């Protein structure tokens, strides 16, 4: 067989290859193996790119977004909180984190099969991603574990010790992230929709695991640690919105890896999640700016980028389950609702969630969880099957009203785990080290007081 003919056959769908003459069994097997190898190569390439995109969301994306919103004396200290998660959570994941989430265990936590990444190699793990190396799946999931505690740091920005933040984040990963991620995504998980969980929760890319958990944990930390000195009497304006603008745009781009990558293949489902992600972000930005214009008379740059992030956080849960215009509706709701939480509710109750993690990620994640139960459809993702193997209704618009109940139950479990786990992590951290920097250090700023550096030096 010539190379040209062989290359042409590789482009044929597998269903056509199956119709090859019976006398060519050996060639047929060879061609099927080549097609499978091509699919695995394409899926693996997409997932490695997605892994890099999600890591980019933490550094530089989140680091820039957060550091521009604080005062200039805290710019490096804020960036270090995101950067540190890239280092320390990676090591924790390699030792035991991945195993506790994705190894077989019980309904609430994984086991020890993959401790120190034993058995995590080039062969796919058929339970999760049958067309990519197990190691690729592992490193992709690591990027979610990195960004989630980094999000929480925005709630206590400008007033927590670096060492205390590291200890708290480590404890929080064990008490909140690892068990919740296993319950939703892990084999045998209590909330796992694809593997028969008790309350099958549709969480495509982390609306509950990442955003609800980090957002409600952020509220607990803000209330527990207390307000910044001078808040709210003293104006604490962002020192560099240009940095935040760049960071938000990097988050928007990186979120395609976050959501579309969660298809775990270079597939039409990845395309659907990609489209839903972009449409929801655009709608969130427009909705926030319109609400801001209506209330205060001006649509700000900060409002625009905040609305985009709100739309992204809100659609994360349903990105792989909803159609494009449902994603637009999710984004429109997200922008206006999260703006109200930040501009009205936060001011009314007076809590100091420095960078509005609860108002954007907590409320956005909770809203997205409920709306996914309404708009999820088998036309996008036939995750449920009837006894005869046909696609079953997924969300309310499909005729499955019970899914809204499952979504709310899953969100409630996520909130309880986040609140209780965060309180325990804070108390244990406080037992070993003070959480807050001293008053004089807060006046000096984290950069000099904790790191001995300055973000800006204009001498000479």
Q: What is the pLDDT of residues 29-72, one digit of tens each?
A: 776 766 676 788 999 999 999 999 999 999 999 999 999 999 99
CB atoms within 10 A of CB 303: 22
Residue 194, pLDDT > 70, answer yes
Strand partners, 129: 125
Tokens 């775990």 found at: 264
Please say whether the beta carbons of 157 and 78 come within 8 A: yes
SS3 at position 160: strand
Residue 325, pLDDT > 70, answer yes
Half-sphere exposure of residue 405, counting CA atoms within 13 Å on the CB side?
5
262 alpha carbon, distance to own chain's centre: 10
pLDDT at 23: 54
Residue 129, pLDDT > 60, answer yes
106 alpha carbon, distance to own chain's centre: 24
pLDDT > 90: what percent of the chain? 87
pLDDT at 17: 42
138 DSSP assignment:
H
Cα→Cα distances 227→159, 424, 449, Å: 9, 20, 19
Q: Name residues whose C-beta falls within 8 Å of residue 387's C-beta, 6 or more positions apart in sequence.
A: none
Quick check: pTM over 0.75?
yes
Nearest to 185 by CA among 136, 133, 145: 145
Residue 385, pLDDT > 80, answer yes
Please say whether the beta carbons of 453 and 204 come within 8 A: no
pLDDT digits (tens, 9 = 90+) for 283-320: 999 999 999 999 999 999 999 999 999 999 999 999 99
Lowest mean pLDDT, pick from 6-10, 276-280, 425-429: 6-10
Is 3.30.1050.10 the CATH classification of the domain at 46-451? no
Retrieve residue 294's tokens: 């209506």
pLDDT digits (tens, 9 = 90+) for 241-285: 999 999 999 999 999 999 999 999 999 999 999 999 999 999 999
pLDDT at 34: 67
Retrieve residue 382's tokens: 């036939």
pLDDT at 9: 40
Q: How far apart are alpha carbons 64 and 251 in whole angstroms? A: 10
Residue 458: band (very low, low, confident or very high) from pLDDT cuts 50, 70, 90: confident
What are the boundaries of each domain within the chain? 46-451
Q: How far apart are alpha carbons 142 and 44 in whole angstroms? A: 16
**Buried b vs exposed e over 349-359: b needs ≥16 C-beta within 10 Å?**
eebbbbbbbbb
Residue 6, pLDDT > 60, answer no
Please state the φ and ψ torsions of residue 375, each to the nearest 5 degrees: -95, -10
- Mean per-residue pLDDT over the chain, rounded: 93
Residue 7, pLDDT > 50, answer no
Residue 3, pLDDT > 80, answer no
Q: How far apart are alpha carbons 241 and 249 in whole angstroms? A: 12
How is the chain split among helix, strand and coil, in percent rounded to 5? Answer: 70, 0, 30
């Amino acid at each position: 067989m010539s190379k040209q003919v062989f290359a042409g056959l590789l482009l044929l769908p597998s269903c056509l290859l199956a119709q090859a003459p019976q006398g060519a069994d050996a060639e047929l097997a060879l061609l099927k193996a080549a097609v499978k190898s091509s699919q695995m190569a394409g899926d693996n390439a997409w997932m490695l790119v997605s892994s890099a995109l999600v890591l980019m969301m933490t550094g530089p994306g989140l680091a820039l977004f957060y550091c521009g919103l604080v005062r200039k004396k805290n710019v490096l200290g804020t960036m270090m909180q995101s950067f540190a998660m890239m280092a320390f959570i990676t090591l924790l994941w390699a030792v035991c984190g991945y195993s506790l989430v994705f190894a077989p265990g019980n309904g609430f936590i994984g086991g020890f099969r993959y401790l120190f990444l034993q058995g995590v190699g080039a062969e796919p793990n058929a339970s999760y991603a049958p067309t990519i190396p197990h190691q690729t799946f592992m490193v992709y999931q690591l990027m979610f574990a990195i960004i989630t505690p980094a999000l929480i740091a925005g709630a206590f920005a400008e007033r927590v010790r670096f060492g205390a933040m590291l200890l708290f984040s480590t404890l929080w990963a064990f008490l909140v992230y690892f068990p919740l991620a296993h319950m939703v995504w892990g084999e045998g998980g209590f909330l796992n929709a694809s593997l028969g969980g008790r309350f099958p929760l549709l969480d495509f890319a982390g609306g509950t695991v990442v955003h609800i958990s980090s957002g409600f944990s952020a509220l607990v930390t803000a209330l527990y640690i207390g307000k910044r000195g001078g808040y709210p009497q003293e104006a604490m304006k962002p020192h560099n919105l240009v940095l935040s603008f760049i960071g938000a745009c990097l988050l928007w781009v990186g979120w395609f890896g976050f959501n579309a990558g969660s298809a775990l293949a270079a597939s039409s489902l990845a395309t659907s999640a990609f489209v839903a992600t972009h449409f929801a972000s655009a709608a969130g930005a427009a909705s926030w700016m319109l609400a801001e214009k209506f209330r205060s008379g001006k649509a700000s740059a900060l409002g625009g980028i905040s609305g985009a992030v709100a739309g992204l956080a809100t659609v994360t849960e349903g990105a792989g389950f909803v159609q494009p215009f449902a994603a637009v509706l999710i984004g429109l709701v997200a922008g206006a609702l999260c703006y109200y939480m930040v501009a009205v509710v936060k001011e009314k109750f007076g809590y100091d969630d420095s960078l509005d993690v609860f108002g954007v990620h907590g409320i956005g994640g909770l809203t997205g969880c409920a709306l996914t139960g309404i708009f999820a459809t088998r036309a996008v993702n036939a995750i449920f099957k009837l006894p005869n193997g046909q696609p079953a209704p997924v969300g309310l618009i499909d005729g499955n009203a019970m899914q809204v109940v499952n979504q709310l139950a899953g969100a409630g479990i996520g909130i309880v785990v986040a609140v209780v786990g965060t309180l325990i992590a804070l108390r244990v951290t406080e037992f070993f080290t003070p959480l807050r920097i001293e008053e004089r250090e807060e006046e000096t700023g984290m950069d000099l007081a904790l790191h001995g550096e300055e973000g800006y030096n204009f001498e000479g």
